[in-house]
Structure 1
Amino acid sequence: MTTRRRARRVVPAMLAALALSLGVAQATGASAHPRAEGKPLPAPHMVHVSKPKLINPSGHAQPKVRKDQGPLPTVSRNKLAELKAAAAKHPAKHRPKVTGGNSAKMLKQPSQGSFEGLSQPCCVRPPDTEGAVGKGQFVEVVNGAGFGVFSKSDGSLLKNVSFASFFGYSTQTIFNPRVVYDKKWNRWVISAEALPESSTVQKVFYAVSTTSDATKDFFLYTFDPPENPGDLYDFPQLGLDQDAVIVTANIFDSGLNYVRSRAFGIAKADLYNGRDFGFLYFDLGTPGTVAPPVVEDNNSSDFLVAATASGNKLSLFKATGLGRSNENIVQQPDVPVTAYTVPPSGRQPGTSSLLNSGDSRFGNNSTQIGNQLLNIHTINDSGFPTPTWYQINTDTSALTATGEVFESPDSDDFNASVAGSPVGGNATNNIGRMFFSWTSTNAMSAPHQVRVKSGGRLATDPVNVIGGNTHSTASTFYDPTGDAVERWGDYSAVTINPSSTSTCPVGNRAYVVNERQISTTSWGSRIGKLGFCS
């Protein structure tokens, strides 16, 4: 049993751990029976995308320099400021020593290696750190530095191209990059967006590799989102099912007020074969940032999930036939969760400058296996920014389990991501392994600067992941602008290794990438691996 750093969720956590250890799904705060779905959501536009260019770019066209304001909030900026002020109002106190967390097998191997990722060119921040692992390569995409391909065997950089060169576009800044690896078809999918050129023109980019080798050719697609004049398409995310690439995005009006969330699916048969295509452009209303899934089996339905800045429920959507002729999206019953609100900022020793821990959105795609959906966001728990994960039963719109991720009783932990594996799962609980990455600082009992962290749990472990592996620790605080709160991360990534070794079958190892700090004024990134294997 785990002694919790935060006492408010001890009973649900204990029940979840007991249920999982017995192989029994637990419904928390909701009926264990399926509930009625809502009406299909509207798709007011059919978007047509022309045939792509075939590219193999190189070079480093100079990016336009801008100070990123971070992801736009899906509540009013005044409301977010109020919530952040409330989070900082009561400083956290030292907590008693916490035990439990990672499995003994994981702790025997505190690191399975890490290597340096892409770093900051002049003046671009935050990095929006994203990456994915393939058969022999790791691909990272970050703001400014662009697209990098690394060898998994020795961490060497095989190729690095700026986004301006990669996408052949320099009219506006390209940002918000995402990448996924489709292990079924051995393709890399990369997306990004540019700032608007005008009230009616904003470019969105998709690049799809023609093979598993990310140093070779890509198909390059681009389109303009069919939004109202002056609207901004922002914070897109990428997911996958067996037949489609799944995309979500937030839309803001000319005053940068949140007005809707979008979702659509692109048929792989078209995207991967260099064809033109069309897709329905769904309007999900205003649930907040919606995370698409990476579907790890042949499920015919995809489940998308959203969290607002504060609340006691998650919004759930069921998509069927995305990228095909029968596609539709239906809102599901809400998923009840313990009430949460936005996290306080991360503290750094030796300075009053804080690190922005973001809001409570799901910043990365989910893992979907069978009827289980897994994702993570950062909330305020007793004055600490704390990543909190949820495993959702999509049949019942109820929690199977939930837990927290942190380094120590008084660390500040944020910028988290998670991925799940079916290895060790069963018919009742399809997710047998979880892998996490996050940022940790400590300005209290055991002071340290920014760390890149990772950890994992088996389905039978305690629900909290505590301690974890350290892949990088900064030697000084981060304060590049002198602002009271500095931009940090915006997101990170965890992906399951699709390759096996004689001592590590597929599904037992994951790769992580997260922002690290090089100096007071510059960022880098660190790519690490961890696993329940040698």
Structure 2
Amino acid sequence: MILKRWPAVFAATVVPSLLVAPVSLASAHTDAARIPAGGTGAATARAVQVKDVAELAATTAGPEHVPLGQDGRPAGASLPAAAPRGTKPVAASTARVTGGPNTGRGVRPLTAPGTINANFNGIDQAGGGGAQPSDINAASGATQIVETVNRRFTVYDKSGGQQCTATLAGFLGATEDVFDPRVQYDNLNDRFSMVVSLTPPSATGAAALYVATSQSGNACGGWWVFRVTFNGSLYPAGTLLDYPQLGQDRDALLLSSNNFNPGYINSAAFSIPKSAAYSGAGFSFPAFAVSFTTQPVTVGGNPIPPTANSYFLSSVNGTGYNLYRMTNSAGPGTTLTLQSTVNSAFNGPPRQVNQPGTATQLDPLDGRIVWSPYQVGNFIWFTHGIAIAGFPGIRYGAIRLSDNVPFVAIAYRSGTSDDFNPSIGVSDAGGNGNNIWLNWAYTDPAAGVATSVTVDGVLPGGGVPNLIGTGAVLVNGASTSTNTRFGDYSSVSVENTCTAVVAQQFFAAGEDWNTRLGRLSFC
């Protein structure tokens, strides 16, 4: 998002390092009261044809794009700049637990996705209008891959051939600066959807987001564009809706945001019925207060299956996770309940990311979940950054919905690597077996390795094992002294049981950011 020079409203704290044990941890179930609605949103549609969108020269310059933490400062600003000490221990693989996630179909060996169908560079910093960082993510449809970064989106065929491109401002018809785009694909209805944040036009204007949905499976064709406005106690006039999130169930788009006015005031979650969003009809909805950076959970499956409830999940430093349950996501009568505060303590990244050959360090964010988790059957899968023996590292795992029990493990590239900006995708392979894609960036200064992209995975029956040095490297990049921001998020878009598209940032030889998209299969 755009860095606003707002004063901090809370004192920043530095969380000490903690090695996360690769074992299942107990969960405390709560029966919290239903959360009352604290605001509403509404919108009407405008039709857009991508071919008619003009390039906007004004998007080639502007301030940095930085997500804010609860203290109102850039998310990783409080992290110390420090050199690594020693190495991380080689942790034993997590044992499979009866009744745990991904334990059907027999024990399988650890392996990354074995087939790389495509591996190509996407939008770079110049193409993104010079914004830092990229906010890279992508969605894979039936025949196309849609990539969004700050200030631009581009559509490719499945091999990486460009089909069309447009600035976000031109596409949305925005007069404000727009940023933090997120895109996803609905395999049931053959539609793409997108959410984009915007700079509040004034201190007295209504809080707003842009939401867009394609009118077909062709992302280079027609779209419906909605400028969604909000009111109520969660949304005082002039509120910035920062770091908006996007997920989906069978019937609704699921969204959330962190709200600042000017400091952090709250976070809120809401849903939009697909029937209205895909037809260009007007809609309205209630919004509910949630914890900081609460992510909507995407329902996995091809096609997306029906579910009794929808879910939202946030990671909470020092505690674990807040799990929210939504009923009637497509309305009427949408409700939200805190289903559980899940006890599975962790500490966020303990310091900034080191690079070889430069004193410039990168921001690994603050332990928040940066991309939509996946619900597959009775489990919600997630990943985020943590501290591992004084290094930035990765935690991933699943929460069992029937009793809120978590199953977690760790991931890193080597004993001396700094690992950050993860995302996860999960498919249902049947019989409580899953294919799992885990996508993250890393540096390894001790080995002279600059920003690089790795994808690791787990086969059906593999449980939730630690993933250490077993992934496929999609690209080795360069160090940078001109960018201190990194990513802010990455993505995994699951196509089918065997194949997913990952999107991640790295730095090119000229020190500017570039993006890497990979299409990887297990089968």
Larger strand percent: 2
Asked whether the 8 Å contact 2:18–2:388 carries over to 1, the reply is no
Residue 42 of structure 1 aligns to which amino acid in structure 2? P
Question: What is the 5 A alignment of 1:250-265?
Answer: 250-254=258-262, 257-265=263-271
Task: Give the corresponding residue for 2:6.
Answer: none
Deviation at 1:77, TM superposition (A): 4.4
Question: What is the 5 A alignment of 1:101-140?
Answer: 104=109, 106-107=111-112, 109=114, 111-121=116-126, 122-140=129-147
Question: What is the 5 A alignment of 1:203-214?
Answer: 203-214=208-219
Q: Does 1:364 align with 2:358?
A: no
Match of 1:66 among 62, 68, 76: 62
Q: How does the TM-score come out when normalised to structure 1?
A: 0.85
Deviation per residue, 1:430-467 (Å, 9 max, x gap): x61210111110011x2211111111112533611222
Deviation at 1:225, TM superposition (A): 2.8
Q: Distance in 2 between matches of 1:515 and 1:103?
A: 30
Structure 2 gap segments, 5+ residues each: 1-16, 95-106
Closer, same or farther: CA 487–523 of 1 in aligned 2, 3 Å:
same
Asked whether the 8 Å contact 1:347–1:353 carries over to 2, the reply is yes
Q: How does the TM-score come out when normalised to structure 2?
A: 0.86
Deviation at 1:100, TM superposition (A): 6.7
Q: Distance in 2 between matches of 1:305 and 1:185?
A: 25
Q: Secondary structure at the match of 1:491?
A: coil
Task: Give the corresponding residue for 2:40.
Answer: 46
Q: Does 1:521 align with 2:521?
A: no
Asked whether the 8 Å contact 1:343–1:357 carries over to 2, the reply is no
Q: Secondary structure at the match of 1:164?
A: helix
Between stretches 70-79 and 41-50, larger displacement belongs to 70-79
Closer, same or farther: CA 489–7 of 1 in aligned 2, 3 Å:
closer
Q: Does 1:158 align with 2:160?
A: no
Deviation per residue, 1:389-436 (Å, 9 max, x gap): 13001221221x21112111111110110011111442xxxx612101
Question: What is the 5 A alignment of 1:507-518?
Answer: 507-518=497-508
Task: Give the corresponding residue for 1:501.
Answer: none
Residue 276 of structure 2 aligns to which amino acid in structure 1? D
Task: Give the corresponding residue for 1:418.
Answer: 424
Match of 2:392 among 385, 390, 397: 385
Q: Secondary structure at the match of 2:185?
A: strand
Identity over aligned pairs, percent:
26
Q: Distance in 2 between matches of 1:527 and 1:343?
A: 28
Residue 495 of structure 1 aligns to which amino acid in structure 2? S
Closer, same or farther: CA 36–516 of 1 in aligned 2, 3 Å:
closer
Q: Does 1:434 align with 2:442?
A: no
Q: Distance in 2 between matches of 1:527 and 1:441?
A: 18
Question: What is the 5 A alignment of 1:133-282?
Answer: 133-144=140-151, 146-152=152-158, 154-169=159-174, 171-201=175-205, 202-226=207-231, 227-254=235-262, 257-282=263-288
Question: What is the 5 A alignment of 1:266-305?
Answer: 266-284=272-290, 287-296=291-300, 297-305=305-313
Q: Distance in 1 between matches of 2:18 and 2:73?
A: 31
Asked whether the 8 Å contact 1:58–1:160 carries over to 2, the reply is no
Deviation per residue, 1:27-76 (Å, 9 max, x gap): x2136xxx452111121333221243343343321216233252100246
- Count of equivalent residues: 481
Structure 1 gap segments, 5+ residues each: 1-5, 17-27, 498-505
Structure with the greater relative contact order (CA < 8 A, sep ≥ 6): 1 or 2? 2
Match of 1:29 among 21, 26, 30: 26
Task: Give the corresponding residue for 1:465.
Answer: 467
Q: Distance in 1 between matches of 2:43 and 2:53?
A: 25
Question: What is the 5 A alignment of 1:501-512?
Answer: 506-512=496-502
Closer, same or farther: CA 340–50 of 1 in aligned 2, 3 Å:
same
Closer, same or farther: CA 59–92 of 1 in aligned 2, 3 Å:
farther
Q: Secondary structure at the match of 1:494?
A: strand
| Root mean square deviation, CA, Å | 2.4
Deviation at 1:79, TM superposition (A): 10
Between stretches 386-395 and 62-71, larger displacement belongs to 62-71
Deviation per residue, 1:79-126 (Å, 9 max, x gap): 9755x23xx567331346678799757458374430121111242110
